[in-house]
Structure 1
């Protein structure tokens, strides 16, 4: 397995402008279409799904749609969110599935109307401060149920992000008051499946 694309630890703030400029400069900043790390991680993500088919998935931080197009094969509908308009345009070009709705929002803000039985959080939680994670948990609590399945995947190497992959994952599980159903620890990332989230 090759190493993931180097993390951008020099960024003082991972705001909307940072990601928009990043995608303006690079077509595929994390090499999601070519990296063996990403390919293997996607395969592991799909293998861990507890159901063969989902009614409606929510993917937060979809980037250029590398995972989105694979989720679309397992879901009746997918709502995919990203902050970057450039990334979303590339995602639309890559993913021609009629069951995918792309929306622009800078997390944790955004209005994701719907009721979801699958939520995918892949490589995004460590960009948030703790207060932002609290707001994200509050947002998600409005659109999920105890039966909703969460798939949470994060790189575990060192970064200068606000949180590490381990800390972000563990904190967010507590915030969502979710039950751990499955855990995998790979050499470069961790993958978990949660259910039973508690709504406020």
Structure 2
């Protein structure tokens, strides 16, 4: 993460939900759109870096056999672990992007509200590591606030432009509103899931 860890520590020092993920209709609706945009009912292995307090993570856990979440802030990791308590398929780790990128292969990587905290060089490393970590038919979903954020090296538009420019994947879905962009890319040209059974 290009921003200093203290930036996030300060946010969590006075508020367990600094972006109001739990209470704002905007955030709830965006999560529901994100989940509805996933072309498969179920995924085998999902990676969600920058999971914050785990609100999106809880929904992702319902759609996969194994979920790995990360965040660089210890308070966020603790909150996400509480949110996912009892879900045996979900794990939360303390790690910093891009250096803390996990080993292994994923059939879904969710980059939600994370790119603008990274400078373009670090964001490019994340993109490259994501591509290298996808399974042969894996997908990458990205969702970002489009407006500038004070102190952040990029905004959501720049983040998604870099994704479009550097992902050697097939664009499958793009949804854009005044405030956020949501897009899905796949390693294969077709992502129709003929096996409707959940894992």
Could you tell me whether the CA contact under 8 Å between 1:133 and 1:172 is conserved in 2?
A: no
Partner residue of 1:190?
A: 181
Matched, 1:164 2:148: no
Tell me the TM-score normalised to structure 2 length: 0.87
* Cα shift readout 1:75-101 (whole Å, capped 9, x = no counterpart): 001000100111010111111211101
* Cα shift readout 1:137-176 (whole Å, capped 9, x = no counterpart): 2322332134211111011123342112011112023223
Which of 7, 10, 25 does residue 18 from structure 1 map onto? 7
Gaps of 5+ in 1: 1-12
Matched, 1:104 2:94: yes
Partner residue of 2:35?
A: 46
Tell me the TM-score normalised to structure 1 length: 0.87
Matched, 1:56 2:45: yes
Could you tell me whether the CA contact under 8 Å between 1:107 and 1:136 is conserved in 2?
A: yes
| CA distance in structure 1 between the aligned counterparts of 2:67 and 2:22, rounded to whole angstroms | 19
Mean alpha-carbon deviation: is it higher for 80-89 or for 173-182?
A: 173-182
* Structure 1 consecutive aligned stretches of length 4 or more whose deviation exceeds 3 Å: none
1:126-145 superposed matches below 5 A: 126-145=116-135
| CA distance in structure 2 between the aligned counterparts of 1:137 and 1:145, rounded to whole angstroms | 15
Deviation at 1:127, TM superposition (A): 1.3
RMSD across aligned positions (CA): 1.5
| CA distance in structure 2 between the aligned counterparts of 1:182 and 1:141, rounded to whole angstroms | 17
| CA distance in structure 2 between the aligned counterparts of 1:158 and 1:86, rounded to whole angstroms | 25
| CA distance in structure 2 between the aligned counterparts of 1:111 and 1:136, rounded to whole angstroms | 8
Partner residue of 1:7?
A: none
Matched, 1:31 2:20: yes
Aligned length: 185
Matched, 1:122 2:116: no
Which of 169, 172, 175 does residue 178 from structure 1 map onto? 169
Could you tell me whether the CA contact under 8 Å between 1:146 and 1:195 is conserved in 2?
A: no
Matched residue of 2:135: which SS?
A: coil
| CA distance in structure 1 between the aligned counterparts of 2:97 and 2:14, rounded to whole angstroms | 21
